[in-house]
């Protein structure tokens, strides 16, 4: 055995396929190695793929061949004894479909094989033991999602050290199709829940033309129903984007609204989190400035939640559930504006009527246009930003609701003097939910990833271009 070797990884021509060198410590009694060490291997580049099953293949004879099988999960392969010639063919959709990589493996090497990459090996010694970790449970149903390639495919042209005619090959492996007949394994998809709301509509636009993104409104997926989660084959997905929320802040203070807010904003998110953990998915969850009491002038991502009302409490509970997912993005936002009913449309309608609204001038924040929220989410996913919580609103100088209303009137050519300032205490009516005084979110975290949201005033002017008095 090779002493003094360090744990190292190297890339291959097949994206995501990684070859590892493992330290093996031997003496007169035999040898020892750490076959899988989560923290060390993550540091060396192994994805945190969450194995749930360990399989062992014993091969009595030299020249035994198995494969080429592309499975609907990731796996980490190494040897317990013997020596093999390994061959991997990319059978996923994309520009590297059909690409081949080969390597000889001993107990001192291992390979990470991503979902959809065909895996095969030929034993070069008797009594070879091949072991692998997978991140999903095998089942007869799962086997339907396999993709296969013939061992003798002329395009892949695997240079088997022992000719196939002199090898031990199963009858089934000998019947697999040639590359021209293989249906590539499709990429895992993203599922957007709550896709009919303001953010869901914006996400449809942000991901237009992307076949890997699916959208489900309440008619297609009821997030409050346990059966909805059981009906999905989560093996086909990589990401859940939760764009659903109960946002009727004042209604949440009523008995009926309280139950609905907790059902949608907290209990449903816990179900999403459980699905994400069980199936190694990424969860994108939308949070709110209402999880804070507003006493801080500016809110940072690590501020401890202190919600004032039922809506904020239910959102804070949902955040805690989402944060239990190892791969999560919690997107904290404020004052969302998109398609459908919102403050800007209400002010525009009042301006058109020449009305004189009273608008509070002692609550401060920034507008968050749904189109920019959607672009920010797409950005974080595409660059594979570090998981965690990100504040995301539009930029620029914070404003009060009163100042925003003035801007709406001005931009539409209405008289801004019609807008009257009022404080929150005078505005409040029975069952009015408490609001945070400051909803200003610090944006340094999202900017550090390379996404700099446009100013709210810039976006407001664009948003109102289609409005007429």
Report, as residue numbers or ranges, the catalytic residues: 69, 132
For the chain, the first-to-last Cα distance in angstroms comes to 82
Phi/psi-derived region of residue 50, left when phi > 0, alpha when psi is between -120 and 50, beta in every other case: left
CB 102 within 8 A of CB 160: no
Number of H helices, E strands in the chain: 13, 26
CA 225 to chain centre: 22
CA 18 to chain centre: 22
CA 438 to chain centre: 30
**Upstream peptide bond of 23 is cis (omega within 30 degrees of 0):** no
HSE-CB of 348 using CA atoms within 13 angstroms: 18
Q: What span, in angstroms and rounded, lies between the C-alpha atoms of 395 and 59? A: 62
Instruction: Give the strand pairing for 399-400 and 53-59.
Output: unpaired
| Helix/strand/coil percent split, the chain, to 5 | 30, 25, 45
Provide CB contacts within 8 A for 363, sequence distance 6+. 294, 400, 401, 424, 435, 436, 437, 438, 439
**Upstream peptide bond of 68 is cis (omega within 30 degrees of 0):** yes
Q: What span, in angstroms and rounded, lies between the C-alpha atoms of 19 and 160? A: 19
Q: What span, in angstroms and rounded, lies between the C-alpha atoms of 110 and 165? A: 27
For the chain, how big is the Rg over CA atoms in Å? 28
DSSP 209: T
CB 77 within 8 A of CB 131: yes
């Amino acid at each position: 055995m090779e002493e003094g070797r360090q744990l190292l990884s190297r890339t291959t021509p097949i994206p995501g396929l990684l070859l590892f060198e493992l330290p093996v410590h031997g003496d007169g009694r035999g040898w020892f190695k750490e076959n899988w060490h989560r923290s060390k291997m993550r540091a060396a580049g192994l994805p945190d793929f969450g194995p749930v099953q360990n399989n062992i293949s014993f091969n009595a004879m030299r020249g035994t061949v198995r494969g080429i099988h592309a499975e609907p999960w990731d796996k980490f392969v190494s040897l317990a004894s013997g020596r093999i010639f390994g061959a991997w063919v990319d059978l996923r959709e994309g520009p590297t479909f059909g690409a081949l990589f080969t390597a000889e493996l001993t107990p001192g090497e291992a390979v990470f094989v991503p979902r959809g990459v065909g895996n095969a090996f030929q034993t070069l010694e008797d009594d070879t033991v091949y072991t692998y970790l997978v991140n999903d449970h095998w089942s007869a149903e799962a086997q339907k999602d396999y993709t296969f390639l013939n061992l003798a495919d002329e395009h892949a042209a695997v240079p088997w050290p022992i000719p196939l005619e002199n090898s031990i090959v199963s009858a089934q492996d000998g019947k697999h199709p040639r590359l021209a007949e293989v249906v590539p394994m499709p990429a895992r998809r993203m599922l957007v829940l709550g896709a009919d709301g303001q953010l869901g509509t914006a996400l449809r636009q942000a991901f237009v033309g992307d076949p890997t993104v699916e959208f489900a409104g309440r008619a297609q997926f009821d997030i409050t129903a346990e059966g909805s989660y059981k009906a999905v084959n989560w093996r086909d997905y990589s990401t859940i984007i939760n764009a659903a929320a109960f946002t009727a802040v004042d209604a949440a203070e009523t008995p009926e609204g309280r139950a609905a807010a907790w059902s949608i904003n907290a209990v449903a998110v816990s179900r999403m989190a459980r699905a994400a953990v069980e199936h190694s998915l990424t969860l994108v969850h939308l949070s709110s400035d209402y999880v804070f009491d507003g006493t801080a002038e500016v809110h940072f991502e690590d501020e401890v939640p202190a919600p004032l009302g039922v809506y904020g409490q239910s959102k804070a509970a949902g955040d805690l559930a989402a944060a239990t997912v190892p791969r999560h993005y919690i997107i904290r936002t404020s004052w969302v504006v998109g398609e459908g009913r919102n403050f800007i449309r209400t002010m525009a309608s009042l301006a058109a009527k020449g009305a004189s609204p009273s608008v509070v001038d002692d609550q401060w924040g920034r507008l968050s246009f749904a189109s920019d929220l959607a672009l920010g989410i797409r950005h974080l996913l595409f660059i594979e930003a570090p998981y965690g919580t990100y504040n995301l609103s539009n930029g620029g100088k914070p404003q009060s609701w009163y100042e925003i209303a003035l801007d709406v009137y001005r931009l539409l050519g209405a008289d801004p003097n019609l807008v009257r300032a009022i404080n929150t205490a005078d505005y409040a009516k029975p069952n009015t939910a408490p609001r945070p005084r400051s909803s200003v979110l610090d944006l340094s975290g999202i900017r550090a990833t390379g996404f700099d949201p446009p100013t709210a005033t810039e976006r407001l002017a664009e948003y109102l271009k289609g409005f007429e008095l």
